[in-house]
């Protein structure tokens, strides 16, 4: 499968750059710190919580904010991971290697996307390892954890797809990163622009945060899943279209 | 539905905005031919290379590779193709072997076939000393060889090389030419260059492009026979009629150059020389000079300069000029 060959090359090139490791280290450090803060708070107020009739569990009080922050932080760092994908190849004029080989443009786009998602899984694995480390000490709400993980996965794959598209628009990786970040930020905060944040206004329906929040609360709805899948597919199709139209550009 | 032509290009046009980079270009190449694609910088060589490798869509025109339409069946057509663009598409953070391995996989090679193909490419391109080195650390000459290795690793029927010797030192240029010559033995090659001696050294066919238009299309053998390449220069004090020379035994062709100067080619050199000498003494033509043809005729260079000169290019026909015969 040539798609996997491209995915493998993309992941390898990513893992050879100090950028990827620096990103992984920063994300890890930042989230570990936030995680420990949440744990600290939880242990501080645990006795008071136990007095409640139906107290929220550790999963809800620790995992939910952790994954919320992880979504925001990954939104900031993923543009740096995706920026090189097409932009750097365009700059080094190495894309010819792929476009001359007997491979469809779809396979090139999906291959690169799969490679980036490989690295993304590594990032999410690190995030997930934190709540999992609690499993030996306390009872975890596995359903909530699974829903939140699915949410984070869908959210970040859609970020990656958007980043891949923007990267195909320019031959300047830095510009690609900034544009991606700007676009993701707008998508994220789109619901705050409505009069009823968190409500069902039309504009809010286009916000990534709006759909992520549902999954974070353990509510797996086909609407939220559909939103992220559509966003991802849209970005990937646009990338393919962009590569195709590059052959026609004047 | 394969045809005998490996690549056939018909009425190719490509505009960049209002500028026509390629105008009505048609050519074809049979298996086993090495085509030199000559032209001054900016004539449309690289644009043509990018189009026939499917990296740039033509404004109009048709490209058929081994019977497959490049625009309709791009994947089948590209299987036959190996391409070295003007800047080699190298993954600088990979080792040579790793990179070639990747290129082979892109072309669908796996397992034993892949290992063999990569070994062969490394061997042919003289990369045996450096297979584990990182490409970014290699010298320009070696990088260029990796670029060629990348284009031939999957053993394509047609290898397209865009200015493969640019920026190399004379020894490296010679090595690359030697490699291209070897490639020509079992692949078809299109070699784009603005260096004339390169074409003379390695190509069987030549075409010259100027301002996006083809101004010459010929086989190198034909080209040499239409110019002074195999002609002896001969000079008399009292020159005879051309017909008198033509009648002599062993003479193939006589061309008048200036007063008293002729260019002649022999069917049989010994017989021809002897008959010219004898007749000259007999009839008092006063033969003063009989010099052999230059080892490397400057013909192609003259032709190139002549054809790519703007004033001439505008009215030139896409055929080699007729020999200056009487």
Interatomic CA distance for residues B107 and B128, integer angstroms: 22
Residue linked to tokens 């010929």? B218
Residue-wise pLDDT for A75-123, tens only, equals 999 999 999 999 999 988 899 999 999 999 999 999 999 999 999 999 9
Residues 6+ apart with CB under 8 A from B7: B28, B29, B52, B63, B64, B65, B66, B158, B188, B190
Q: Do A93 and B91 touch (CB under 8 A)?
A: no
Continuous segment of H or E residues that includes residue A110 = helix A105-132
Domain that holds residue A102: 2-246
CB B107 within 8 A of CB B154: yes
Nearest chain A CA: its distance from B99 CA (Å)? 9
Q: Do B75 and A102 touch (CB under 8 A)?
A: yes
Interatomic CA distance for residues A9 and A14, integer angstroms: 8
Q: What is B24-54 written as a DSSP string? A: EEEEEEETT-EEEEE--TTSSHHHHHHHHTT
Nearest-by-CA chain A residue for B147 = A97
Residue A240 in this model has a pLDDT that exceeds 80: yes
Going along chain B from its start, the domains and CATH numbers come out as 5-224 (3.40.50.300), 232-291 (3.30.70)
Nearest chain A CA: its distance from B298 CA (Å)? 37
Residues 6+ apart with CB under 8 A from B261: B233, B234, B235
- Identify all chain B residues contacting A100, using CB atoms and an 8 Å cutoff: 53-55, 78, 81, 83
Residue linked to tokens 């990979």? B94
Q: Which residues pair with B5 in a beta bridge?
A: B30
Q: Do A247 and B85 touch (CB under 8 A)?
A: no
Residue A45 in this model has a pLDDT that exceeds 60: yes
Query: Residue B325: pLDDT band by 50, 70, 90 thresholds?
Result: very low
Nearest chain B CA: its distance from A106 CA (Å)? 12
Q: What pLDDT does B311 receive?
A: 44
- Identify all chain B residues contacting A2, using CB atoms and an 8 Å cutoff: 105-106, 108
Residues in B whose CB is inside 8 Å of some CB of A read 15-17, 53-57, 75-76, 78-79, 81, 83, 85, 87, 89-94, 102-103, 105-108, 150
Nearest-by-CA chain A residue for B150 = A97
Residue-wise pLDDT for B54-105, tens only, equals 899 999 999 999 889 988 899 999 999 999 998 899 998 899 999 999 999 9
Which ipTM did the prediction report? 0.86
- Residue A217, classed as helix, strand or coil, is coil
Task: Tell if the pTM clears 0.90, that is, is over it.
Answer: no
Q: What pLDDT does A200 receive?
A: 66
Q: Which member of A92, A101, A250 has the closest CB to residue B107?
A: A101
Residue-wise pLDDT for B240-265, tens only, equals 887 888 788 777 777 777 667 787 87
Cα A67 to chain centroid distance, Å, stands at 11
DSSP A205: G
Residue B14 in this model has a pLDDT that exceeds 80: yes
CB atoms near residue B186 (< 10 Å): 10
> Structurally, how many domains does chain A consist of?
1
Nearest chain A CA: its distance from B300 CA (Å)? 32
Residues 6+ apart with CB under 8 A from A9: A115, B91, B102
H-type helices in chain B, by residue range? Answer: 45-52, 74-78, 96-106, 111-124, 140-152, 170-186, 196-202, 220-226, 242-246, 269-283, 299-308, 310-313
Nearest-by-CA chain B residue for A95 = B89
Map B299-318 to HEC letters. Answer: HHHHHHHHHHCHHHHCCCCC
Cα distances from B66 to residues A84, B54, B78, in angstroms, run 36, 14, 10
Among A85, A96, A104, most B C-beta atoms within 10 A, so best to mutate, is A96
Q: What pLDDT does B1 receive?
A: 41
Q: What pLDDT does B321 receive?
A: 45
Over residues B18-39, the mean pLDDT reads 88
């Amino acid at each position: 499968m040539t798609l996997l060959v491209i995915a493998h090359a993309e992941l390898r090139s990513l893992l050879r750059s100090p950028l990827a490791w620096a990103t992984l280290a920063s994300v890890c450090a930042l989230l570990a710190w936030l995680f420990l803060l949440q744990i600290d708070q939880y242990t501080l107020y645990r006795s008071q919580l136990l007095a409640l009739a139906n107290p929220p569990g550790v999963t809800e009080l620790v995992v939910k904010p952790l994954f919320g922050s992880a979504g925001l932080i990954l939104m900031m760092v993923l543009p740096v991971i995706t920026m090189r994908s097409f932009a750097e190849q365009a700059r080094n004029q190495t894309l010819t290697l792929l476009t001359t080989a007997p491979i469809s443009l779809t396979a090139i786009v999906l291959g690169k996307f799969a490679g980036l998602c490989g690295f993304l899984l590594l990032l999410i694995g690190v995030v997930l390892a934190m709540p999992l480390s609690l499993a030996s000490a306390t009872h975890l709400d596995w359903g909530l954890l699974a829903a939140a993980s699915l949410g984070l996965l869908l959210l970040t794959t859609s970020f990656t797809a958007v980043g891949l598209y923007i990267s195909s628009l320019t031959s300047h990786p830095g510009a690609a990163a900034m544009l991606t970040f700007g676009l993701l930020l707008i998508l994220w905060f789109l619901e705050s622009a409505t009069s009823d944040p968190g409500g069902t206004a039309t504009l809010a329906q286009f916000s990534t945060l709006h759909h992520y929040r549902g999954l974070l609360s353990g509510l797996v709805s086909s609407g939220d899943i559909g939103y992220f899948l559509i966003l991802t597919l849209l970005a990937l199709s646009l990338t393919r279209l962009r590569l195709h139209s590059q052959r026609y550009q004047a | 539905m394969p045809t005998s032509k490996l690549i056939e290009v018909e009425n190719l046009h490509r505009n960049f905005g209002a500028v026509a980079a390629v105008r009505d270009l048609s050519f074809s190449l049979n298996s086993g031919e090495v085509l030199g694609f000559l032209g001054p910088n900016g004539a449309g060589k690289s644009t043509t290379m990018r189009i026939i490798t499917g990296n740039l869509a033509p404004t109009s025109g048709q490209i058929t590779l081994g019977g497959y339409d490049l625009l309709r069946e791009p994947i089948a057509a590209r299987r036959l193709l190996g391409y070295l663009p003007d800047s080699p598409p190298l993954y600088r953070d990979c080792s040579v072997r790793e990179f070639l391995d990747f290129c082979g996989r892109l072309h669908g090679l796996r397992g034993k076939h892949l290992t063999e193909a990569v070994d062969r490419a490394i061997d042919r391109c003289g990369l045996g000393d450096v297979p584990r080195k990182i490409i970014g650390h290699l010298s320009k000459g070696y990088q260029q060889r990796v670029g060629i290795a990348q284009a031939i690793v999957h053993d394509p029927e047609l290898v397209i090389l865009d200015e493969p010797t640019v920026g190399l030192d004379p020894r490296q240029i010679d090595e690359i030419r030697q490699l291209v010559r070897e490639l020509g033995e079992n692949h078809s090659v299109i070699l784009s260059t603005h260096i004339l001696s390169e074409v003379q050294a390695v190509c069987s066919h030549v075409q010259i492009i100027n301002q996006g238009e083809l101004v010459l299309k010929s086989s190198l053998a034909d080209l040499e026979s239409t110019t002074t390449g195999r002609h002896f220069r001969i000079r008399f004090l009292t020159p005879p009629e051309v017909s008198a020379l033509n009648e002599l035994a062993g003479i193939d062709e006589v061309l008048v150059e200036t007063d008293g100067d002729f260019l002649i080619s022999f069917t049989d050199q010994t017989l021809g020389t002897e008959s010219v000498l004898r007749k000259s003494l007999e009839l008092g033509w006063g033969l003063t000079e009989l010099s052999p043809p230059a080892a490397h005729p400057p013909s192609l260079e003259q032709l190139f300069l002549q054809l790519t000169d703007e004033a001439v290019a505008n009215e030139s026909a896409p055929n080699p000029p007729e020999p200056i015969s009487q």
